[in-house]
Every structure is written in structure tokens, then in C-alpha cells.
Amino acid sequence: QHYQDLESKSATHVSFAVVFPEKTFSFKLHSSCSVFTAEIIAVLFALEEISDRSQRYFIIYTDSLSVLQSLSSFYPHPHNHPLVLNVLDLFNKLTLRGFNIMLCWVTSHVGIVGNEQADRTAKSAVPPMDMTIPVVDLKKLLYSKWQEQWDLETSNKLHAVNPSV
């Protein structure tokens, strides 16, 4: 069995979908969440779903190369996304319980049925997921808002010298 995930970002929300052969899940996140956050939550959600199953062999297909790279090159650092460690922890616990789980990258929007289904489902996600926005996403949001304000200060001499906050 396998799942595919895909995120969709708009001005009002970020969403993701997880597709199993027999069931599809989709959720909306707050618009302050990054695409990476949606992608890593999708992998975490898939692992949580897998943990309740009797089958022991799974392939998780994702079109998020950045998530796979983060998982394969993780080292403890304060700037790491907090959910990467959660995924690695759950993956390790499942492996110790006898699960055999492979993570596989697929290109997006190339006609892979499960991936296309996840794309459509993510775009039409209805239920909001109740979660805390990661600090890393809030920092990016605050920084971009600060930069927007600073960009309006074109008559400020310092702005001419240093246009970036």
C-alpha cells in the first residue's frame, strides 16, 4: 500500500492530502504555515495512519524532495523544522515494531494517478486541522510583513542604503 501527498497554498490557507487506496484525507492549515510545513505534516499524518494497520509493508510517495532531503540529512540544530524530528521519531518507532516503510520521491503533475488525486483533494480540502503554527513559519511571516512595511519607507535615507530588513 502507499499514499501520495500534495499541498496546495492560497492566500487564505495551505492544505494537504494523504491518499490510501481505500481512503483519502485532506486538511487545511493556517495561511501562515509554509508549503514545507504542509508537506511534512502530510508525511507525519501518513505514518500515524500506518501505525494503526496490520499490514507491515508501505511505500510513501511524495512529490516533496525538500522533505525527503530534510529527513535524510537531519542533524539536531535549533533552525531545523520541529516536525522533521517528529517524523523521524515515529518512523523509527514503527521500524522497531516491525514495519517496513520506504519513502519515495515522485515528480508532481506528470499523470501519476495517486498524486493527481492528492492534488485535487488538497485543493478542495474542507476541514481545518487544529495545530500550532511552527515558530519557523511565524518568523518568516513576521519578517515578510516587516519587509513590506520597510518597502513603503522609500523616502527614508536608510532605506536607500539598506533596502532589506
Residue 27 bridge partners (DSSP): 16
Indicate the pTM of the whole model. Answer: 0.69
Strands (E), 44-93: 57-62
For residues 96 and 40, membership in a common domain is answered with yes
Question: Which pLDDT value is given to residue 28?
Answer: 83
For residues 31 and 84, membership in a common domain is answered with yes
Question: Which pLDDT value is given to residue 63?
Answer: 85
For residues 79 and 142, membership in a common domain is answered with no
**Letter string b/e over residues 46-64, b meaning 16 or more CB atoms within 10 A of that residue's CB:** bbeebeeeeeeebebbbbb
DSSP state of 31: T
Question: Which pLDDT value is given to residue 68?
Answer: 93
Q: Is residue 124 a part of any domain in this protein?
A: yes
Q: Is residue 3 a part of any domain in this protein?
A: no
For residues 45 and 89, membership in a common domain is answered with yes
Mean pLDDT in runs of 10 for the chain (165 residues)?
Answer: 56 78 83 88 94 93 90 76 91 96 81 56 57 74 79 80 84
For residues 71 and 139, membership in a common domain is answered with no
What is the count of structural domains for the chain? 2
DSSP H/E element including 126: none
Question: Which pLDDT value is given to residue 117?
Answer: 53
Closest CA to 44 of 24, 65, 16: 16
Rounded CA separation 64/97 (Å)? 26
Question: Which pLDDT value is given to residue 26?
Answer: 82
- Residue where the block lists cell 494537504: 16
Q: Is residue 5 a part of any domain in this protein?
A: no
For residues 90 and 160, membership in a common domain is answered with no
Q: What length is written for the chain?
A: 165
158: containing domain:
134-164
Q: Is residue 9 a part of any domain in this protein?
A: no
CATH code at position 20: 3.30.420.10
Rounded CA separation 105/18 (Å)? 15
Q: Is residue 70 a part of any domain in this protein?
A: yes
